[in-house]
Amino acid sequence: MPRVPPTTGLSVGSRRRGGQRKAEETYGVLEAELTEWRPWSLPSLRKAFNAAKHTDARFAAWWEENSKEAYSTGLANAAAAFDNYSKSKRGQRKGKRVGAPRFKPKRKTRRACRFTTGTIRVESGGRHVTLPRLGTIRTHEPTVKLLARVKNGTARILSATVRHERGRWFVSFQAEVKRDLERVARPDTAVGIDLGVKTLAVMADSTGEIRTVANPGHYDAARKQLRRVSRTVSRRQGPDRRTGRKPSKRWEKANAVRNRVHHRVANLREDALHKLTTSVAAEYGTVVVEDLSVAGMLRNRRLARRIADAGFGEIRRQLDYKTRQHHATRLVVADRWYPSSKTCSGCGAVKAKLPLHIRTYECDACGLVIDRDDNAALNLAALAAACSTGTGVAGDRGTPKRVSKPRGADRKTRATRPRRMTEAGRAGGATLPHQRQTETRDRTQAEALTLW
C-alpha cells in the first residue's frame, strides 16, 4: 500500500498563514511584504503540491515511488475538511459545529487510497482485480457478481478505494449500476420494529403476527477470551508516549492476538445485522422504526455495553438504504416522543408512566395484558397508516411531516433523575427508553471485497 504524503500540511499551513497575515498587519508590515496567502480549494492545493514536489526536500526524494492518486486522496480530503470548516463557521452547514482541521497521526487514521484513473478492472477469472501501480491482486472473496454485471453492460466501474480495516485490506468499487426494480414479498404489509437489549428486535406486522429476533450477544460471548488475552497484553512492555518508550515484540504479538478477537466480534455483528435488515427490506412493503438516540442511551452505564453490542444505529442506517433498493418499500421513522410502549395497542389509551422494570403492559381501560415489547411493535406497525406517501425518512425531500404528539403524547421530561432499575428489570431484559431518540445521518454503503 503506498504511503500517503503529508499533504494536509499545505492546507494547515494556509490556515496558519492567514493568522500570520493578520498578526503582521498589526506590526505595520506593508501589504506587499505580507506572507503569501494560499486558498485551500482542491485545485489550488494540487497546484501548490505540483510546484513543491520537485523542489521541496520533503517530497523530492520519494514522491515518484507512489501513485499520484495517493496524493490526490490526501489533497481532496484536506480540501473537503477546510470546506466543511468554512461552511460550518458561516452557519451554512447543518449538524454539530466543525472545528479547524488538524494533522492526523499515522497510528490513528485509517489508511485508504482512492483510484480514479488508470487501469481499474475486475479480471475474467472472478478472483483477481487490477489496480494502478499495485497490479493484479487476488481477492479473498469472489468477484463474479460484479464481473457479470460489467460483462452484461449493466455496470460501469467509476473508481476503486483501497483501505485497511480490522487487520485486512479491502477494495471498494464505485460503480454506475443499472438496477432492476425489485418487488417485495408482501408489499401490502407493514411491520413495526421495536429494538431492545434482551431481544434484539420484536417485529409485529399489520396482520397481527409477532416475531422475535434474539440478541446474539457476540461481545458477551467473547468477554472471557478477551479478559485472558488482555491480561497477557497488560503483562508485556507496551508503548509510553510520555517517555517515548517503544513497545516490545512480545507486546505487539499479544496485542495482535487481542485485535483479532475484537475484529471477529465486529465481523460477526455486522454479518448478523446485514442478514436481519436484508430479510426485513425484502419482505415488507412498509417498515416502521423508532428514532432512537443511541448516543444518549450509551450514557447509561448499566446498559451501555449491551446497547453498543446490539448496534441500534447500524440497523437504522442499513434499513435506510436497503429499503430504497426495493420499488415498493418505504421506511417510516416514528416521532421521537411517540409513546409506543405507553400506548395500548387494543384501545389506544396512553399511560402516564411506565417504568422500565415493568415488562408486561396492563391496560387500565380495556384490560389488555400483553408483553411490553410486543405492544410497542404493534403500535409502530399501526403508525404506518399515518404516513401514506413518501419514504418517511427524516431529511428526505418530499417526506411528509412525522406524526407529532400522536394519541395525546406530550414532550415533557422528568425534572428528577430516574430511579435505578431493579434486579427484576435487569433479569427481564429491559428495553431502552423510547424518549431518548435522535436522527442518524443518511449514509451510503459501498460493496467491499476482501483482498487478504
* Active-site residue set: 194, 290, 373
DSSP state, residue 272: H
- Side-chain half-sphere exposure of 184, counting CA atoms within 13 A: 25
How would you label 328-342 residue by residue, b for 16+ Cβ within 10 Å and e otherwise?
ebbbbbbbbbbbbbb
Q: How far apart are CA 262 and CA 51, in angstroms?
A: 44
> d(Cα 83, Cα 11) in Å, to the nearest integer?
11
| Helix pair angle (68-89, 42-52), 10° resolution | 140
Strand order of the β-sheet with 186-195 is 210-214, 199-205, 186-195, 284-289, 330-333
Helix (H, G, I), strand (E, B) or coil at 442: coil
Task: Give me the half-sphere count of Cα atoms (radius 13 Å) on the Cβ side of residue 269.
Answer: 23
User: Grid coordinates representing 397?
Assistant: 425531500
Q: CA dist 121 to 115, 145, 156, 444, Å?
A: 11, 13, 10, 22
CA proximity to 358, closest of 370, 340, 346: 370
The span from the CA of 167 to the CA of 267, in Å, is 11
Neighbours of 164 (CB within 10 A): 14
Helix H, strand E, coil C: the string for 154-211 is CEEEEEEEEEEECCEEEEEEEEEECCCCECCCEEEEEEEEEECCCEEEEEEECCCCEE
- Cβ–Cβ < 8 Å for 303, 296: no
State the DSSP H helix or E strand holding residue 213, giving kind and residue range, or none if neither: strand 210-214
The b-or-e profile of 23-57 (16+ CB within 10 A means b, else e) is ebeeeeeeeeeeeeebebebebbbebbeeebeeee
Asked if 147 and 127 count as a contact pair (C-beta separation under 8 A), the reply is: no
Q: DSSP 3-state assignment of 88?
A: helix
Q: Give the full edge-to-edge strand order of the sheet including 128-131.
A: 121-122, 128-131, 135-138
Q: How far is CA 5 from CA 99, 103, 104, 180, in A?
A: 23, 12, 11, 42
